[in-house]
Amino acid sequence: MARRQDRLTVEDVNGAWAIIPTPAIETGDQWQTEDSVDYDEIARAVDGLIESGVDAIMSQGTFGEGATLTWEEKKKMMEVMVETSAGRVPIFVGVTTMNTRETIRQLRHARDIGADGTMLGLPMWQQIDVPAAVRFYQDVAEAVPEMAIAIYANPEAFKFDFPAPFWAQVANIPQVITCKYINIAQLHLHTMVSKKQIRFLPLEIDHADAAKMDPEFNTAFWSPLACTGPELTMHWRDSVREAAKTGDWSRPDELYPQMALALSSLFPPGGFAEFSKYNIQLEKARINAAGWMKAGPCRPPYMTAPEHYLEGAAKSGTGWAELNKKLLEGTL
């Protein structure tokens, strides 16, 4: 697959950036399984998301199980995604590892097969400081300058708070164009200190609030929900886009409480910190219950979670699927 001629820029970051799990075959939860990935399901899901209208696809992060895939599995999954996309939307793959050199090796492979960029978190063995974190992204960008970078800013996963000085410095790296972001309370601050050189991707449910802050710049979000059926994700994107143009926010305001209710059972008591202990298990339970994508079992060692947490996640998945059904029926 030939890669695009020009590296993506911040102006290319708009709309719904879907994040997909790495589907597993039935024996994917067994350590003896050498290749656990359901590649047919990857191809089907990528094609389905693109046909539904998503603007980009990211993969191999936390609930994408990047930490529990072998390099052989990651490589083949990258290749299937790129081949299936065939240049229709940007494909960002995960190359987060324990060190800079391995990340660069993996990213060079992604470049060579035609991927557009990476959703990249920090190495997480030590708790890293701001100068080291900035240097990490500088080194990766220097080594593989053709690839765009979406910083994966998950403070629980990477033991790093992603403070304002970090954003002010990584904004000077041309390859850093976007960020998978969860802290909407600091979105305005971080956008300002980065001088709008990075288009932050808030969580899907926060997209309308972000767009209300700055309708012209906050034009994109990351979506873990598209894989539970993409119809509502696309409708949400288009409704917010229309509201930003007209100033009439009645439709997003009508949708928000229904979406929030469907998501409410996903997060256990303790909020995001507790959820992060079981992120993979809960997200896969949600996606499997919704039925649009077959995520399959979790890979070892991250396979167990409290049963009532899993029940809440499954309820969230069926709740989202029900909203999609109502939307298609014209009753939402």
- Known catalytic residues are 152, 180
Tokens 């899993």 belong to 310
147: part of which helix (H) or strand (E)? none
Q: Are 285 and 310 in contact (CB under 8 A)?
A: yes
**Can you give the length of the chain in residues?**
332
Side-chain-facing half-sphere of 6: CA atoms under 13 Å: 5
Cβ(52)–Cβ(231) below 8 Å = yes
SS3 content of the chain, % helix, strand, coil (to 5): 50, 10, 40
Structural tokens at position 293: 């994508």
Residue type, position 258, single letter: Q
Cα distance between residue 63 and residue 61, in whole Å: 6
- Dist. CA 248–CA 79, nearest whole Å: 42
Q: What are the DSSP calls for 169-217, one per residue? A: HHTT-TTEEEEE---GGGHHHHHHHTTTSSEEE-BGGGHHHHHHH-TTT
Helical (H) or strand (E) element with 68: none
Cα angle for residues 201, 127, 143 (degrees, 5° grid): 65
Long-range contacts of 95-99 (CB under 8 A, 24+ apart): 95/60, 95/120, 96/60, 96/61, 96/66, 96/67, 96/120, 96/121, 96/122, 96/123, 96/152, 97/123, 98/123, 98/124, 98/125, 99/123
Q: Which tokens belong to 109?
A: 């492979």
